[in-house]
Amino acid sequence: MRAFLTIILCAVSVALAAQTGAPLITSQDLLDGLKDPTRWLTYGGDYSSTRHSPLTQITPENVNQLTAQWTFQTGTTGSFQTTPLVVDGVLYVTGYNNNAWAVDARSGRQIWRYRREIPEDWKGCCGAVNRGFGVLGDRLYMTTIDAHLVALDMRTGGVLFDAELIDYKAGYSATVAPLVVKDKVIVGVAGAEYGIRGFIDAYDAQTGKRAWRFYTVAKPGEPGGNTWPRGDAYLRGGGSIWVTGSYDPQQNLVFYGTGNPGPDYYSGAREGDNLYTASLVALNADTGELAWHYQFTPHDVHDWDSTQVPVLADLTIGGQLRKVLMFANRNGFFYVLDRVTGKVILAKPFVETTWAKEIGADGRPVMLPGHLPDEDGEKTCPDLGGGTNFFSPSFNPTTRLFYVTARETCATYYGYEQTFKQGQQYTGGATTRPRDQKNFGALRALDPVTAQLKWEFRYTLGTTSSSGVLSTASGLVFAGDGEGNILAFDGRTGKNLWHYQLGVPIRSTAGTTYMVDGRQYLLVPSGSALTAFALPQRP
Amino acid sequence: MTRIAFLFLAVSALLQAQETPAKNPAANNPHLGNPQSIRSGMALYRTRCADCHGLDAGGYRGPDLTAVLAGGATDERLFGTIRKGVPGTEMPPMNDDPDDDILMIIAYLRKIGTVPPSDRPAGNVDNGARLFTAQCANCHRVAGKGGRIGPDLTRVGTSRSRSALVREIRTPNEWIPPAFETVSLVTKDGQRVRGIKKNEDVFSIQVMDTRERIQGYLKSNLQELVYEKTSLMPAFPAGRLNDSDLNDLVGYLGTLRGADLTVK
């Protein structure tokens, strides 16, 4: 009897080993990006972060028939800022307060839930948000608000490893969706409002051990360190990483936008350019070595994190095919960089900007006077929320249009000296909205070769949008307004073709799209709910 | 400038307010020893806790609370655990309940919970571990290793009494944990799937199949769906696992009290 059982058990073991031994998602799958239409495997859709899907079932002609199929309510507080991943008919979603779920993509029903307690003494400037999972093999990777990286079992949500990035008590947190490159999981930390020194880390996907670290704030004596005052100001220099970077496999470089210097508004605490804050850094994916950097806003005093999404493409400019990196910056300028050399190809404002006349031939902004915050306040456009922000843009390589949620805003900025105390906010100032200011938001389509505005769709006067953008190969663009609508547009003309009131404005993402059982779904996170749309099924 | 000073003061006040951690209400529990509160606590305990922890708090599917109390758990810790639940286990948070409800439950537990536990883990733990690897690990995970079709047992030593473990090994069909009930289905295109039900509504069912694939199915796409009465967990009667081995196995399971998955 026992021998018989043993045979059965052995047979079961072999079957299980065969199944569980094979990784679900390989490095090659990640390189292939959106080629398999049933998947969405990384924050930006693929390594280029274009958020442009090859799917064509939903078209400008039939998009007005899109119908809600299901809604998943998390039952938690806080707003989604996440990009759900899609693998084999299952959605993997991170949410507010260290929560995550696996959800059936067909029905919106929960399969498992992960929850991690937040320490009672954790503090953060901007809510316990999370921007999504990374995936490799049968593992999901998630940063936690208390600055850890956890690996979860895709099938159960069980924890496989728990790596501390750094002690959260020193003001650090983590919200970024990990970028998985080969066998490494790349993440960063937030907390520039709490006097941190930011960094980008890579961890071994199997063991969770740290492979490399790149500090986004250079130490005096090291390259870039002469852009900080002598002493220890660099230790509170900011440079958060809270939006996922992009990856160029040919160069083996990852590209990350870095956050504002700290303290945010008080210039006197940190004379100099403050490298590598408010910059784009290109790092070797294996070693973390800096290949090049470009600083968008030297010595930023307006809290303009450059933590927007770097979008990679190959563009013909002046008759030459150039490897470029497109970047709509919080400081109000749209940049096209050569992603091999880091040199500026083009930089033009895409919203009203009052602080710089232009970006000079040397790549530095030509500053206009009167925009250094002091105790009396100074008015600058855009406001601290910026011309755009962390919400993802999209790029359609066929129409060659760059779609971005733009904000037309101004603020009065105040700056004053503040004594640093660990665990307390360290911003050195504040902002107010000028009484006569009428903010508004718009979805804008830019020609990246000229930065010319091709079309815009203006949202309601008085509110701005924090929604990201998604485009599809059928010529559609999806984005959200500041009032809770998800809207579909003709990507060529900007004509509004469809909308649906979600009840809560979209933050960060405009959603993802994927195929299951031959149907194309549009999945939109807003508030603490996910809503899936599809065309009606024919009987 | 005045506005700045005002802003700054407001921010400072806010920061100070954030700085003071909320005091644990159990630090000063007015219900301790109050007969009326203890009666209310008993009523609350029976409706909210007894299903898992047993009517006598001696543990059923959930831990033996008399052992927890005898082990020196403070009222503050009890309050925190009841309020927040325990992530990764079946213990839910009591998010929306007033502090007083939880404090009355604690007052009740303090009244009854002074008896030391009678069934401490015993047996040959090494032999239990060997038995576990041979007989259980294909389906159950411990510290990230093993199968996934059965419940993760990484901290089963803290969440099951010894008698509950014995019952679940000898007669697993007596109670099947939620998210582990057996189903088999046939899709309209003839695909046969057997596994455990993770979730279900009128229109769809979510399953982990015996190859550990998680997948949802629309019921309109199924030609057959059978809810099996028995667990995928085989029963281990005395003829298959003698009392001595069972004792060793349970002894080993009692040592599973969570894993430190922190990367050093």
Mean pLDDT of A303-320: 97
A111 vs B7, B206, B221: nearest CB:
B206
Question: Does residue B119 surpass a pLDDT of 90?
Answer: no
User: Shortest CA distance to A12 belongs to which of B21, B212, B179?
Assistant: B212
* pLDDT for res B95: 83
Alpha-carbon span A433 to A436, nearest angstrom = 8
Q: Whole-model pTM? A: 0.85
Cβ contacts of A102 on chain B, cutoff 8 Å: 214
User: Could you tell me the pLDDT band of residue A384, with boundaries at 50, 70 and 90?
Assistant: very high
Q: Which of A123, A155, A413, A538 has the most B C-beta neighbours within 10 Å, making it the best mutation to test the interface with B?
A: A155
Asked if the Cβ–Cβ distance from B134 to A112 is below 8 Å, we say: no
Q: Which of B3, B261, B262 has the most A C-beta neighbours within 10 Å, making it the best mutation to test the interface with A?
A: B261
What's the pLDDT tens digit per position in A195-245? 999 999 999 999 999 999 999 999 999 999 999 999 999 999 999 999 999
Instruction: For A421, name the nearest residue in chain B, comparing CA atoms only.
Output: B15
User: Could you tell me the pLDDT band of residue A23, with boundaries at 50, 70 and 90?
Assistant: low
* pLDDT for res B113: 56
* pLDDT for res B88: 73
* pLDDT for res A8: 44
User: By mean pLDDT, which of A12-26, A99-113, A520-534 is the weakest?
Assistant: A12-26
User: Shortest CA distance to B127 belongs to which of B256, B253, B259, B258?
Assistant: B253
Mean pLDDT of A347-373: 97
Alpha-carbon span A315 to A240, nearest angstrom = 30
Asked if the Cβ–Cβ distance from B211 to A12 is below 8 Å, we say: no
A155 vs B21, B208, B210: nearest CB:
B208
ipTM surpasses 0.90 = no
Q: Which helix (H) or strand (E) holds B247?
A: helix B243-254
**What's the gap between Cα A460 and its chain centre?**
25
Question: Does residue A504 surpass a pLDDT of 90?
Answer: yes
Q: What percentage of chain A exceeds 90 in pLDDT?
A: 88
User: Could you tell me the pLDDT band of residue A471, with boundaries at 50, 70 and 90?
Assistant: very high
Asked if the Cβ–Cβ distance from A162 to B148 is below 8 Å, we say: no
Residue type, B172: P
User: Could you tell me the pLDDT band of residue B47, with boundaries at 50, 70 and 90?
Assistant: confident
Mean pLDDT of A2-25: 48
Q: What percentage of chain A exceeds 70 in pLDDT?
A: 96
Distance (Å) from the alpha carbon of B232 to chain A's nearest alpha carbon:
13
Question: Does residue A533 surpass a pLDDT of 90?
Answer: yes
Classified as helix, coil or strand, A483 is: coil
- Residue B160 tokens, joined: 């099951």
What's the pLDDT tens digit per position in A236-294? 999 999 999 999 999 999 999 999 999 999 999 999 999 999 999 999 999 999 999 99
Mean pLDDT of A365-387: 96
B203 vs A2, A13, A107: nearest CB:
A107
Contact yes or no for A360/A409 (Cβ under 8 A): no
Asked if the Cβ–Cβ distance from B262 to A164 is below 8 Å, we say: yes
Question: Does residue B116 surpass a pLDDT of 60?
Answer: no
Residue type, A22: A
Alpha-carbon span B14 to A425, nearest angstrom = 10
Cβ contacts of A22 on chain B, cutoff 8 Å: none
Residue type, B19: E
Is residue A160 within 8 angstroms of chain B, CB to CB? yes
Cβ contacts of A9 on chain B, cutoff 8 Å: 134-135, 138
Distance (Å) from the alpha carbon of A313 to chain B's nearest alpha carbon:
35
Q: How many CB atoms lie within 10 A of CB A340?
A: 17
Mean pLDDT of A362-369: 97
**A496-501: strand order across its sheet:** A52-53, A469-472, A476-480, A485-490, A496-501
Is residue A430 within 8 angstroms of chain B, CB to CB? yes
- Active-site residue A303, yes or no? yes
Q: What is the DSSP string of A260-289?
A: -BSSSS-GGGS-S--TTTTEEEEEETTT--
Contact yes or no for A113/A100 (Cβ under 8 A): yes
Classified as helix, coil or strand, B232 is: coil
Q: How many CB atoms lie within 10 A of CB A501?
A: 10
Chain A from 179 to 208: CB within 8 A of any B CB: 203, 207-208
Asked if the Cβ–Cβ distance from A416 to B8 is below 8 Å, we say: yes
B215 vs A89, A163, A207: nearest CB:
A89
What's the pLDDT tens digit per position in A154-176? 999 999 999 999 999 999 999 99
Alpha-carbon span A304 to A419, nearest angstrom = 22
What average pLDDT does the structure give for chain B? 85
Q: How far is CA B162 from CA A180, A456, B65, B256, in A?
A: 43, 67, 13, 12
Q: What percentage of chain B exceeds 90 in pLDDT?
A: 49
A416 vs B4, B141, B206: nearest CB:
B4
Is residue A211 within 8 angstroms of chain B, CB to CB? no
* pLDDT for res B14: 40
**Backbone Cα Rg of chain A:** 23
* pLDDT for res B72: 76
**Most distant CA pair in chain B, distance:** 85
* pLDDT for res A17: 39
Asked if the Cβ–Cβ distance from B216 to A105 is below 8 Å, we say: yes
Asked if the Cβ–Cβ distance from A155 to B200 is below 8 Å, we say: no
Mean pLDDT of B106-122: 66
What average pLDDT does the structure give for chain A? 93
* pLDDT for res A437: 77
Sign of the Cα pseudo-torsion (A453, A455, A460, A466, in order): negative
Question: Does residue B12 surpass a pLDDT of 60?
Answer: no
User: Could you tell me the pLDDT band of residue A446, with boundaries at 50, 70 and 90?
Assistant: very high
**In the structure, how many helices (H) and strands (E) does chain A have?**
2, 38
Distance (Å) from the alpha carbon of A37 to chain B's nearest alpha carbon:
17
Distance (Å) from the alpha carbon of A38 to chain B's nearest alpha carbon:
14
Asked if the Cβ–Cβ distance from A88 to B213 is below 8 Å, we say: yes
* pLDDT for res B23: 76
Q: Which of A394-398, B47-51, B73-77 has the highest mean pLDDT?
A: A394-398
Q: Which helix (H) or strand (E) holds A28?
A: helix A27-32
Choose, from A29, A300, A303, A481, the residue flagged as catalytic: A303
User: Shortest CA distance to A241 belongs to which of A280, A281, A199, A270?
Assistant: A199
Mean pLDDT of A323-329: 98
Contact yes or no for A191/A172 (Cβ under 8 A): yes
CA angle B142-B145-B149, nearest 5°? 80
In sequence order, the 6+-apart residues with CB closer than 8 A to the CB of B234 are B172
Asked if the Cβ–Cβ distance from A107 to B144 is below 8 Å, we say: no
Mean pLDDT of B256-261: 89
Is residue A91 within 8 angstroms of chain B, CB to CB? no
* pLDDT for res A464: 94
User: Shortest CA distance to A52 belongs to which of A495, A451, A407, A468?
Assistant: A468
Which alpha helices (DSSP H) does A291-385 contain, by range? none
Is residue A23 within 8 angstroms of chain B, CB to CB? no
Question: Does residue B1 surpass a pLDDT of 50?
Answer: no
Question: Does residue A360 surpass a pLDDT of 80?
Answer: yes
Is residue A77 within 8 angstroms of chain B, CB to CB? no
Is residue A117 within 8 angstroms of chain B, CB to CB? yes
Alpha-carbon span A241 to A173, nearest angstrom = 10
Asked if the Cβ–Cβ distance from B88 to A159 is below 8 Å, we say: yes
B18 vs A123, A416, A517: nearest CB:
A123
End-to-end CA, chain A: 53
- The length of chain A, given as a count of residues: 539
Q: Which residue has the higher pLDDT, A309 or A460?
A: A309
Alpha-carbon span A493 to A422, nearest angstrom = 51
Beta bridge partners of B146: B141
Alpha-carbon span A244 to A339, nearest angstrom = 17
